[in-house]
Amino acid sequence: MADWEDLTMPEFEAAREKGRTVILPVGSLEEHGPHLPLGTDAFHALEVARRVAREHPIVVAPPIFYGVCRSTREHPGTVSISGDTLRALVLDLGWEFWRQGFSNLVILSGHAGGTHMAALLEAGETLLAALPEIRVAVVNVLDLLREVLTENPHLVRTKGDAHAGEVETALMLAASPHLVKGTAPAEWPAFPKYILVRDKRRFWPGGVWGDPSPATPAQGEEILRAEVRRLLQVIAALEGEKIT
């Protein structure tokens, strides 16, 4: 299958007849240290969705490049939208996807912020309540990643690795190496516990959470393949049938 926006009208009709599942990749426009692009989260979700589409009849919708970014909002390049805006956008898109004939919706987020995911979950729940025939899955790619790393701990060396660290750098080296600008120093943020702060960059100057230096393209490729296998399992359950 192909990206929705690349299809002609007859091609879209043919794709819809082959499968009634659409993936909506959601990311953020957010700093990822000095070495990774601001669109890393969306690129990650889109890469996984496109790889899934090569193995199963689905349509990949154009990604949403904006999300709810709280801890990185003061870093240069980060653009955050409200939870209300994100929820309304996903809800409208879900209605339109259903109107166009898709009964299975996978909301696939490459951004893992708690308020961001809450907005996506609420949009999914609203669609379930409004459309009795629709099936919805809300998937955080980083949750898939945690499942993969639990079974394959050898895939990452850095303890406590997270934002713009070893794993995300490896993923981008595999998916879009031309967008990776070298590496960055290891860093872990030092936010005060429980207390909200205005100057967030004071507690997280470099925007990296982990150590990007051990990352390799082969490592990223292995992780991406494992994430794709996990997402195919989710889609099989959503569609209520086995994927061969």
Model confidence over 84-105: pLDDT tens digits? 999 999 999 999 999 999 999 9
Average pLDDT over every residue of 26-42: 98
Domain boundaries, the chain: 4-239
Q: Please report which residue ranges of the chain form alpha helices under DSSP H.
A: 9-18, 40-55, 83-99, 114-130, 141-151, 166-175, 200-203, 217-239
Q: Which of 181, 185, 179, 173 is nearest to 215 (CA)?
A: 173
Average pLDDT over every residue of 120-139: 96
Pick the CATH number of 4-239 from 3.40.50.10310, 3.40.50.1110, 3.90.480.20, 3.40.50.12780: 3.40.50.10310
- The DSSP output letter for 34 is B
Q: What is the pLDDT of residues 1-12, one digit of tens each?
A: 679 999 999 999
Whether the predicted pLDDT of 243 surpasses 70: no
Whether the predicted pLDDT of 233 surpasses 50: yes
Average pLDDT over every residue of 202-231: 96
CB 77 within 8 A of CB 32: no
Q: What is the pLDDT of residues 142-193, one digit of tens each?
A: 899 889 888 888 889 998 899 999 999 999 999 999 999 999 999 999 899 9
State which H helix or E strand residue 22 sits in. Answer: strand 21-26
Predicted local distance difference test score (pLDDT) of residue 241? 62
